[in-house]
Amino acid sequence: MTEKNVLQISDFNVDFWVDGVWYPAVIDMNLGLAAGKVTAIVGESGSGKSTTALGLMSLLASNARMQGSVLVKGEEMLNAKSSVLRQFRGKEVAYIFQEPMTALNPLFTIGYQIIETLRNHFDMGPKEAEARALELITMVDIPDPAGSINKYPHQLSGGQRQRAMIAQALACDPALLVADEPTTALDVTVQAEILDLMRGLKDKLNSAILLITHDMGVVADMADEILVMKDGITVEKGTADQIFNKPQHPYTKQLLGAVPKLGSTKKRALPYKEDAKPDPVLKLSDVTIEYPKRGRQPAFTAVKNFSLEIYPGEIVGLVGESGSGKTTVGRASIGLLPVKEGSIQIVGKEIAGADQKQLSAIRRHTGIVFQDPASSLNPRLPIGESIGEPLLLAGIAKGAELAHMVEELLDQVELPRSYRNRYPHELSGGQRQRVGIARALALTPDLLIADEPTSALDVSVQARFLDLLQELQVKLNFACLFISHDLAVVDILCHRIAVMQNGLLVEEGDRDQILKKPQNDYTKRLISAVPVPDPAEQRIRREARLALKK
């Protein structure tokens, strides 16, 4: 234990009081962090990493109990007076949260929020504070600083909001910056920029950073030291090099093994011959989709002249950043959104302009798995009913026969049959996505549309989910449109890849062709921005990417 450490955590314990019992969330954590260094806490959801971050400055809910010692610059923070805590919060210890939209107050301009932080901690006049705020906004590279200072959070893009939050966090030159999943809500290219920014600022200001993340690629990019947590226990601790190259604990190995890596899977043969293509299951030709004018908001063209064909038995990945229109394509393909121009055909039947009756007939050939496991199942229905609904409504089965079919579907997605009577809130995210697949496959569709089904899942859960999806695809031989922002996932799963940007299809082709020999600049940038869970390789990639930018 050295005096120089900005943050010194010893024997830190957090328990939560639930229903008459204390449940431990963090157990005997020890950590020292020196100025100018980055320590990453990694682990899956529920491992206690965010609890640790909030517990440092006593920001937890009232049913939490903390024990041990947390020293910031040699001063005890645990059970300190609230006046002491207030002095440290923001000034010495600043936080960056995951979702900048909810962490910034939508009613105030970003400039006002930064000035507020400044004037809370320093004896500063409004003019002076504004000058400093402008300086900070310039420092975090928000375009047009003088104009942006008067902008409200909703007027900025996700990446700019995160930058504004970083500017606010840095307002008082904090000795310690706690970044709780700072890039999880961002696109890969934006994530790479934010990480560059944080790295640069750390060197400039000599702050210590406590980085909390589940993304091993981000960790490889940033961390000097790593702490792996599982169920509140620190299972392994070491330098980045040790953890990535010589992991000791089986859990660390498992965690690293589950991370999908770009270009690590073998070539997958197309299920058909290039010169004798069967009839496509899904055929989009020159599709344009527009969100109509709403009040004063003008009409917005989300997808323009989009053409794509999917043949039986193949998985096509549709990648792009948020706002590129990939989800719109997925939803339109199943008739949930009207098409303005062009045609969409499923097994030869036209969706564009079809009426309700025709649509429901076409939909029997399709299934869809949604992105958010929290909202894709009706919380008031037992999952057996959710899975059986398509069968019931299609008039295929009811009563005991339906129950039997639901059980078979549950078997297929490897969930216990007894789950039939459970409610969605009783299931974990991964289990709910399995239920989503079971429901989508109930009618044995020819086409499955999977809209970012793994983006809300932990890596190990995601790995198992992808295995399952692959197995089912081989067994049932359906065609699949797999929408994702994660190139590594698409790499594992797909035969072909289509890349979208701003509603346009920019590149489309064989998986290896896209990932190894991308032609389009945007595709190149997208691929180079994906962080790789290997510190040494990531450094090389980072330099290559910066070179590409110049």
Partner 1 sequence: MKLFGRKTSEGELLAGGENAIANKEVEGLSQGQIVRRRFFRHRAAVIALVTLTSIIVFVLSALDTKMGPIRIPGWWKWGVEDIPELRFEDCPGGTTGCPTLSINPNSHFGFGTHPFGQDDIGRDYFALVMNGARRSLMIMFVIGIVSGFIGVVVGSISGFYGKKIDSVLMRLVDFLQTVPTIIIAAVIGKAAGKVGPLYLALFLGILGWTGLARLVRAQFLSLREMEFVDAARVAGASNLRIAFKHILPNAVGQIIVSITLIMAGAILTETALSYLGFGVVPPDVSLGLLISQYESAFTTRPWLFWWPGFFIISIALCVNFIGDGLRDAFDPRQRRRITKKDRLQAKLQVKAGE
What is the contact surface with partner 1 in residues (CB under 8 A)? 16-23, 25, 44-46, 50, 61-63, 231, 331, 334, 336, 360, 363-364, 366-368, 370-382, 386, 389-390, 393-394, 423-431, 436, 439, 442, 456, 461, 464
AA letter at 49: K
Smallest distance from partner 1 to CB 463, Å: 11
d(CA 427, CA 423): 7
Residue 533: both structure tokens together:
């869970």
Q: Do the strands 225-230 and 233-239 form a parallel or antiparallel pair, or are they unpaired?
A: antiparallel
Neighbours of 425 (CB within 10 A): 9
Smallest distance from partner 1 to CB 330, Å: 11
Smallest distance from partner 1 to CB 168, Å: 23
Any idea which residue has 């190259």 for tokens?
Answer: 245
Smallest distance from partner 1 to CB 334, Å: 6
Which residues have a Cβ under 8 Å from the Cβ of 283 and sit 6 or more positions away?
A: 308, 309, 310, 343, 344, 345
For partner 1, the closer of residues 108 and 423 by Cβ is 423
Beta carbons of 206 and 544 less than 8 angstroms apart? no
Any idea which residue has 């700019």 for tokens?
Answer: 160
d(CA 319, CA 156): 23
Neighbours of 40 (CB within 10 A): 26
For partner 1, the closer of residues 17 and 122 by Cβ is 17
Smallest distance from partner 1 to CB 356, Å: 9
Q: Find, among 351, 376, 375, the residue nearest to 362 by Cα.
A: 351
Vertex 166, ends 110 and 12: CA angle to 5°?
125
Beta carbons of 67 and 11 less than 8 angstroms apart? yes
For partner 1, the closer of residues 180 and 236 by Cβ is 180
Smallest distance from partner 1 to CB 165, Å: 19
Smallest distance from partner 1 to CB 53, Å: 13
Residue 89: both structure tokens together:
């919060």
